[in-house]
Structure 1
Amino acid sequence: MATSISAIAIPPQSEIAKRLPGADFHDCYQTAIAPTDKSALSLYLQVAATTPAWVNTLMALRNRIVSLVGLKNLGHLGDFTTSKPADAYRIGDRVGIFSIRYLSDEEVILGDSDKHLNVEVSVCKLNGRVAVSTIVHTHNMLGRFYMLFVAPLHRRIVPATLRQLKSQ
């Protein structure tokens, strides 16, 4: 069975849509999911815990390269305690490479800021589907340069991680 993942506009009813003005980069991908009582954060944790190995390899390469220009090592998406239940997380808690910035059953926004950019990722449950939105605000030339390389990879990474959700 083919996994249908499609690019869509950021859902206007999502909390992350409020953060779109002035963004230098944004995208959103959706896929159908079976009805579930899992929270948006639970879905994110499920996907992050099963990140494809090639994504972790790219993150390790990214971390080595950016350390040369003084940016922080983010680690990997799945760098969190998998035994900690989703309902134990609160706004401000670190989950892998991100911190939780907004949290409801239907949507979680995770993000990270550095001197070069601010990135936020939303996982939003929408009537039988899940949408993953990303918004980036760059702060300087380094951020814009960084995104020249990251944006094309990002467009491959998000659908690949969503396929992990579909295969479980």
Structure 2
Amino acid sequence: MVETIDAPAGSEISRRLDGAYYHDSYRIAIPPSDASALELYLRVARQTPGWVNWLMDLRNRLVGLVGLKNLGALNGASARKPALDYRVGDRVGIFDVRYLTQDEVILGDTDKHLKVEVSVCKTDGALNVSTVVHLHNLLGRLYLVPVAPLHKIIVRSMLRRAGGLNA
């Protein structure tokens, strides 16, 4: 079961909440695992449902009309590159690695309308996903009107998949 929570206490993402226009956090129980937070993210992202990729494709086509980035697909990370080979600054699918430890990875992207950061954080028996969005202008605010509700559905769906992983 996916639970709505506060950003995990002591996490790096919790330090990035100041001034955020939007943020959310969710948690799901997972079996004990030695896998890193990035490994778990990659496992889930590589199993992205087709409907999510369809929404990302639609998003990319629509935002291109107003000059925003085409991010590609959520499952766009190379299946050949192991999690251990990623470093801060590397691209992982639609995101750049912004922060990386065994228990937390922050992935993000910045465009002219906003900065988004997504944390995947392992805590005792749980996987937590927190999103923090800082807006740059009115376009960012307008962008979030349709995106924020869809984001919540997508994150919950992806976390349900993570709960079924053999972590």
**TM-score normalised by the shorter chain: which range applies?**
over 0.9
Letter in 2 for 1:112: D
> Deviations along 1:1-58, whole A, 9 cap, x unmatched?
xxx1011011121101110000000000100000000000000001110011111010
Name the SS for the 1:136 alignment partner: strand
Structure 1 runs of 4+ with >3 Å offset: none
CA RMSD between the two structures:
0.6
Equivalent position of 1:51 in the other structure: 48
Q: 1:61 aligns with which of 55, 58, 72?
A: 58
CA distance in 1, matches of 2:119, 2:56: 19
Are residues 1:151 and 2:136 paired? Answer: no
Deviations 1:44-76 (A, max 9, x none): 001110011111010000001000000010001
Aligned residues: 165
Deviation at 1:81, TM superposition (A): 0.9
Determine which of 131, 147, 165 is the counterpart of 1:134: 131
Aligned to 2:120: 123
* Secondary structure of residue in 2 paired with 1:119: strand
Which residue pairs with 1:23 in the alignment?
20
Structure 2 unaligned spans of 5+? none
TM-score by length of 2: 0.97
Give the whole-Å Cα distance in 1 for the aligned partners of 2:137 and 2:10: 30
Secondary structure at the counterpart of residue 120 of structure 1: strand
TM-superposed CA distance for 1:167, in Å, is 2.4
Q: Secondary structure at the match of 2:20?
A: coil
